[in-house]
Amino acid sequence: MKDLRKNYTKGQLLEAEIPSSPYELFNSWFQDSLAADSIVEANAMVLSTSVDDRPDSRVVLLKDLREEEFVFYTNYESNKGKQLGLNAQCTLLFPWIGLERQVIIRGFAQQISKKESEDYFFSRPKSSQIGAWASSQSSKIESREDLENQLAGFEEKFSKEELIKPPHWGGFAVVPSEIEFWQGRPNRLHDRILYSQRLGKWETTRLQP
């Protein structure tokens, strides 16, 4: 591993070319990632949380970017849901490695409205809706067979009853205070542009690589 080397040459990030809004730049990079064959899921992001000085990370999917908020959905009783309930500060990382780019979003998470969560829940395939009931996310279970039995039980239940959104399932909106864009450059002299919220406005700073 010590001998692994890659020279980054696919792009640049210069102050003269960036917009005043980080969301405009994010959306441009996101569209590039959607179009890139090297990116499997452009909306995959690493959510990092921290409680009692114990950091934790996992991959979740961005499902909406609206009103300057990054939205994802989960089980509120999962590890990440409980951790965000105790400490709303978190980071999101988009690792668009195939384009030699990454974006880090630092901010705090807040639960979105029940109505918005329901609207998204019922837009999902029915199998995913039932899956949200079947899994007590992050809880221990004895075997895969037990998990499949739980699913079968809820499939039977909702073949006879109206399917509703679980009360423990819904969305979080991450409100950014900082958004950092990283573009790989040759000789490890990468471009790093940091957008920071200051009195309701975004300021930009170049960081050394």
DSSP-H helix ranges across the chain: 22-35, 79-86, 114-121, 126-134, 144-157
DSSP line for 134-168: H--TT---S-HHHHHHHHHHHHHHTTTS-----TT
Query: Catalytic: which of 58, 101, 144, 188?
Result: 188
Instruction: Yes or no: say if 61 and 72 are a contact pair by the CB < 8 Å rule.
Output: yes
| SS3 assignment, position 201 | strand
Instruction: Yes or no: say if 33 and 99 are a contact pair by the CB < 8 Å rule.
Output: yes
Strands 64-66 and 191-198: unpaired
Q: Among this protein's residues, is 144 annotated catalytic?
A: no
Residues annotated as part of the active site: 188
